[in-house]
Amino acid sequence: MPRKEYLRVDVFSDVPFRGNPLAVFPDADELEPQQMQAIAREMNLSETVFCVRPTRPQADLRLRIFTIDRELPLAGHPTIGAVFALASTGRLPLSGKDDVVWCELDAGVLPVEVESQSGVVGRVIMTQREPRFGEAYARVERVAAALGVPATALCPGELPIRVVDTGIPWLIVPVVDLGGIRRIQPDTARCLALASEVDTDGFYAFTQDAEDRACTAHARHVAFGTLTPGEDPATGSAAGCLASYLVGEGVVLASPNAELVFEQGLEVRRPSRIEAFVETAGGRPQRVRVGGRCVLAGDGALQL
């Protein structure tokens, strides 16, 4: 039986068994999409990424990203983790300075920066799509009921609930404090009904009441539906949306750029640290980058 090797990476942490775990298949050219989907179900992680030959001349490689039940056009931790894994194992040559790898995703060809010194990979930072902002969602009580908290726990200072899209749309939900965000217990039926109304099944809650006072916000991915098999400990695509939201709403001032740090994963005992960089034009977020550190946690092979 043929064997297919993979690497295990913990993304948004430089300490093993923290951050968001990821399976990277570095040589997946011969796999069909249905095989990729079956492998992603077998790995049972929030995402599994398959590295294949690019189809666009600008790209250095193509990444195909699968959850347990779907392919995604873009995702943060698989893109960052895949580039880290390939660079750390010599599959992507490094110049010894800051390198840029052009990754083909269904959302487009996007640059990923690799910081390294003496062949050791440090931070990996991806550029996401230009932010798109939906209208404010005014039915706060409906969101609160879906998340299992009182309406008073949401929207401090009249901050709105809003969908933001930097490659994948996320419903950004502001929460008053750390106690409120930790009390979230989503009601699956109400979340699914709300998802059909706001046209996304990704919810990302945050509070400025971070445990680490050096962080801009404490964030939490609310798990429901089948997007992931459980609560995501670090969500790169959502972090890009949150960074864009905070700058767009004037919570974080950019003059003209802003650097933000988010903590996530504490509720599922996988502490994660996500860095985000927002550049503005005319006072509005225009370019968003998300990154952090990673660590190789192991490797293995599947019998196909």
Q: What domain range is 238 assigned to? A: 132-290
Residue 83 and residue 181 in one domain: no
- Residue 20: its pLDDT value, please? 97
Residue percentage of the chain with pLDDT more than 70: 97
pTM more than 0.85: yes
CA-CA distances (angstroms) from residue 290 to 122, 124, 131, 153, 304? 14, 8, 13, 28, 34
Q: Is residue 97 pLDDT above 80, yes or no?
A: no
Residue 65 token pair: 């990203």
- List, for residues 228-262, the tens digit of each pLDDT value: 667 899 999 999 999 999 999 999 999 999 999 99
| Dihedral sign, Cα of residue 86, residue 84, residue 112, residue 28 | positive
pLDDT digits (tens, 9 = 90+) for 9-62: 999 999 999 999 999 999 999 999 999 999 999 999 989 999 999 999 999 999
Is the omega angle on the peptide bond into residue 54 within 30 degrees of 0, that is, cis? Answer: no
119: confidence class by pLDDT, cuts 50, 70, 90:
confident
Q: Are residues 123 and 145 in the same domain?
A: no
Q: Does residue 224 carry a pLDDT above 80?
A: no
**267 and 298 in one domain?**
no
Is a pLDDT exceeding 70 seen at residue 227? no
Q: Are both 83 and 192 inside the same structural domain?
A: no
Mean pLDDT of the chain: 94
Q: Which amino acid, residue 78?
A: P
- Give the confidence band of 273 by pLDDT, cuts at 50, 70, 90: very high
Number of domains in the chain: 2
The CATH number of the domain holding residue 251 is: 3.10.310.10
Shared-domain flag, residues 121 and 157: no
